[in-house]
């Protein structure tokens, strides 16, 4: 008999101390006799196999679990159903725990499940901007100003996967790849400063086969309601994933991962009842998946992540397509960079359209390359003539929750609608830190001294100088 020892790294690479240096977290030796694994070691090998598959499934399924959890939050905290329009009538606030929400915009959001409704009609009034997303936070269609109605309003028809029925005229028609879908639209304040809430209350949703007998709509004003629309990052992640696999349309591109999940007890037609062994694997895998997600999101290795040379600013979209496909592959790391920290995608968020849509850049580190720390104070300068047709905003987010920072001020951002002080040259100094610089309270966002944070700079209706990068925000400078 011939015995061979084969060394296998359980974790291939967790990080590097120097460039191109790989570090093995642990090294396990497995014994083979005449080509066969030792019988005593087979359970250990399967534990490692299932753990690795669970980790990779966590990274793959993040957008789906995020969407599912968002919908579950709408149902639980807003008592929403598929015929509810949920309106942040005073903008979202830190009371709403949601991935990188914006406290300046008047948003409304809803969901529908095509497996229950069949083809679904969405009616939107004029002068809105938004999107319909499928389960994977990929655009089904843009809405409003950047959509086919071009801001004139209209009727959208969303049909289920594999739908082959007759398609009526008079609709902007799109097919979703999944049953569960989310929609989100932003209303614009009138020239007189009037609220867009009245316009958002004109939104209607109904199944196509009930167009002549539409369900009663409800319009929920939710700004003052505590809600959590984020997804779990612990072992509960896999429980959510099992519910998705049970109900959702199975796409061809999902089959490989579903094959990885099946030995873990997650498969269509099977209730989720993990053994004690599987529970331990899910718990461990969620910890690793969350660690990898945070690393990929906050320290991307994508070569095109920086919009400017020698800068800590990063694009939050790292592909030219909002569904995260390149010409050659689905960029899983780019998708994870976005969906770990943000929700909803649209073509208007990646296509550089002068004066239309929106563009976002994020900063997680200061000008010295150190993580932003809530116990310290930072200064950001916006050069004069911020290039926006609509408005700009700077939002500050808790690095742990990825939601708005929670402090006793109840304020998580500043924007061009506010009473912002300008310098003599027209530029604007903004501050983030535990205490406001004297006389600069209006230009300051308070941070939690016990937490890290990151910022998003949003430009709604970006103008030419931003698109061409001739206008550039400063780095975040440590000032204390």
126 lies in some domain: yes
Could you count the other beta carbons within 10 Å of the beta carbon of residue 225? 14
What is residue 308's three-state secondary structure? Answer: coil
pLDDT value, residue 163: 95
- Answer whether residue 250 shows pLDDT above 90: no
246 lies in some domain: yes
**Which structural domain range is residue 269 located in?**
51-63+232-297
Q: For residues 51 and 68, what is the distance between their CA atoms, to the nearest angstrom?
A: 23
Q: For residues 255 and 253, what is the distance between their CA atoms, to the nearest angstrom?
A: 6
Both 274 and 324 in a single domain?
no
Q: For residues 297 and 285, what is the distance between their CA atoms, to the nearest angstrom?
A: 18
Both 280 and 333 in a single domain?
no
The per-residue pLDDT for range 82-111, each reduced to its tens digit, is 999 999 998 888 889 999 998 888 999 999
DSSP 433-445: ESSPPTT-GGGEE
Res. 8 pLDDT band, cuts 50 70 90: very low
CB of 133 closer than 8 Å to CB of 143: no
Give long-range contacts, CB 8 A cutoff, 24+ apart: 261-270: 261/53, 261/57, 263/50, 263/53, 264/50, 264/53, 264/54, 264/57, 264/238, 266/238, 266/241, 266/242, 270/246
pLDDT value, residue 191: 63
The per-residue pLDDT for range 137-176, each reduced to its tens digit, is 999 999 998 899 999 999 999 999 999 999 999 999 999 9
pLDDT value, residue 27: 63
- Answer whether residue 415 shows pLDDT above 50: yes
pLDDT value, residue 480: 73
71 lies in some domain: no
> Which of 197, 228, 259 lies at the terminal end of a domain, its last residue?
228
Res. 353 pLDDT band, cuts 50 70 90: confident
161-to-134, 172, 249, 445 alpha-carbon distances in Å: 11, 17, 7, 45
281 lies in some domain: yes
Q: For residues 259 and 261, what is the distance between their CA atoms, to the nearest angstrom?
A: 5
46 lies in some domain: no
Both 291 and 368 in a single domain?
no
The CATH number of the domain holding residue 134 is 2.60.40.1610
Res. 192 pLDDT band, cuts 50 70 90: low
Both 291 and 303 in a single domain?
no
336 lies in some domain: yes
199, two tokens: 């316009």
Identify the CA nearest to 373 among candidates 442, 233, 476: 476
User: What's the order of all strands across the beta sheet hosting 453-462?
Assistant: 314-315, 358-363, 453-462, 388-398, 413-415
Both 7 and 132 in a single domain?
no
The per-residue pLDDT for range 429-442, each reduced to its tens digit, is 999 999 999 999 99
Both 381 and 403 in a single domain?
yes
DSSP 111: E
> Which of 271, 297, 323 lies at the terminal end of a domain, its last residue?
297
Both 288 and 336 in a single domain?
no
**What is the average per-residue pLDDT within 180-194?**
83
The per-residue pLDDT for range 297-317, each reduced to its tens digit, is 999 999 999 999 999 999 999
354 lies in some domain: yes
143, two tokens: 């809405």
This prediction's pTM? 0.91
DSSP 183: E
> Which of 205, 228, 251 lies at the terminal end of a domain, its last residue?
228
DSSP 7: E
Both 187 and 279 in a single domain?
no
What is residue 129's three-state secondary structure? Answer: strand
The CATH number of the domain holding residue 243 is 1.10.3360.10
- Answer whether residue 1 shows pLDDT above 90: no
Both 207 and 279 in a single domain?
no
Q: Tokens 């310290």 label which residue?
A: 376
HSE-up (13 A, CA, CB side) for residue 367: 12
449, two tokens: 């001294």
The CATH number of the domain holding residue 309 is 2.60.120.600
- Answer whether residue 78 shows pLDDT above 60: yes
Res. 13 pLDDT band, cuts 50 70 90: very low
Compute the CA torsion angle 62, 64, 66, 67 (nearest 10 deg).
160
Q: For residues 196 and 212, what is the distance between their CA atoms, to the nearest angstrom?
A: 28
**What is the average per-residue pLDDT within 326-336?**
95
CB of 392 closer than 8 Å to CB of 384: no
Pairing of strands 218-221, 84-87: parallel
Higher confidence at residue 353 or residue 157?
Answer: 157
Both 14 and 103 in a single domain?
no
Higher confidence at residue 235 or residue 23?
Answer: 235
Mean pLDDT rounded to a whole number for the chain: 92
Both 20 and 55 in a single domain?
no
102, two tokens: 């914006």
Identify the CA nearest to 339 among candidates 106, 133, 85: 133
Count up the domains in the chain and report the number.
4
**What is the average per-residue pLDDT within 171-191?**
91
pLDDT value, residue 16: 41
Q: Tokens 């718990």 label which residue?
A: 283
85 lies in some domain: yes
Both 316 and 214 in a single domain?
no
């Amino acid at each position: 008999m011939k015995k061979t020892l084969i060394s296998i790294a359980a974790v291939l690479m967790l990080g590097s101390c120097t460039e191109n240096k790989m570090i093995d977290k642990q090294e396990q030796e497995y014994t083979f006799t005449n080509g066969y694994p030792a019988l005593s070691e087979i359970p250990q090998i399967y534990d490692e196999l299932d753990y690795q598959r669970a980790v990779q499934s966590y990274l793959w399924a993040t957008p789906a679990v995020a969407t599912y959890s968002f919908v579950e939050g709408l149902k639980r905290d807003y008592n929403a159903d598929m015929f509810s329009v949920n309106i942040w009538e005073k903008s979202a606030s830190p009371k709403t725990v949601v991935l990188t929400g914006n406290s300046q915009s008047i948003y409304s959001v809803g969901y529908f499940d095509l497996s229950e409704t069949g083809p679904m009609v969405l009616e939107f009034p004029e002068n809105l901007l938004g999107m319909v997303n499928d389960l994977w936070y990929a655009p089904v269609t843009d809405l409003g100003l950047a959509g086919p109605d071009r801001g004139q309003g209209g009727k959208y028809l969303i049909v289920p996967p594999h739908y082959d029925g007759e398609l009526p005229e008079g609709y902007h028609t799109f097919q979703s790849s999944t049953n569960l879908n989310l929609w989100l639209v932003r209303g614009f304040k009138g020239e007189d400063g009037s609220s867009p809430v009245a316009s958002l209350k004109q939104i209607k949703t109904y199944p196509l086969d009930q167009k002549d007998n539409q369900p009663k709509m409800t319009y929920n004003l939710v700004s003052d309601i505590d809600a959590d629309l984020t997804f779990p990052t612990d072992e509960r992640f896999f429980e959510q994933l099992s519910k998705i696999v049970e109900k959702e349309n199975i796409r061809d591109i999902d089959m490989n991962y579903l094959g990885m999940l099946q030995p873990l007890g997650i498969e269509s037609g099977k209730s989720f009842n993990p053994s004690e062994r599987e529970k331990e694997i899910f718990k461990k895998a969620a910890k690793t998946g969350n660690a990898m997600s945070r690393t990929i999101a906050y320290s991307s290795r994508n070569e095109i992540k920086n919009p400017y040379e020698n800068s800590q600013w990063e694009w939050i979209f790292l592909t030219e397509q909002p569904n995260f496909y390149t010409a050659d592959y689905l960029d899983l790391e780019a998708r994870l960079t976005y969906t770990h920290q943000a929700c909803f995608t649209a073509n208007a968020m990646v296509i550089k359209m002068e004066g239309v849509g929106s563009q976002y850049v994020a900063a997680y580190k200061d000008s010295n390359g150190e993580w932003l720390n809530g116990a310290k104070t930072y200064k950001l300068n916006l050069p004069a003539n911020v290039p926006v047709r609509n408005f700009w905003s700077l939002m500050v987010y808790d690095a742990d929750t990825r939601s708005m920072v929670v402090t006793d001020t109840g304020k998580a951002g500043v924007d061009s609608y506010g009473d912002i002080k300008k310098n003599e040259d027209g530029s604007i100094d903004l501050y983030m830190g535990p205490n406001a610089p004297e006389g600069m309270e209006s230009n300051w966002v308070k941070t939690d001294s016990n937490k890290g944070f990151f910022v998003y700079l949003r430009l709604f209706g970006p103008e030419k100088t931003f698109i061409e990068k001739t206008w550039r925000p400063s780095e975040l400078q440590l000032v204390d």
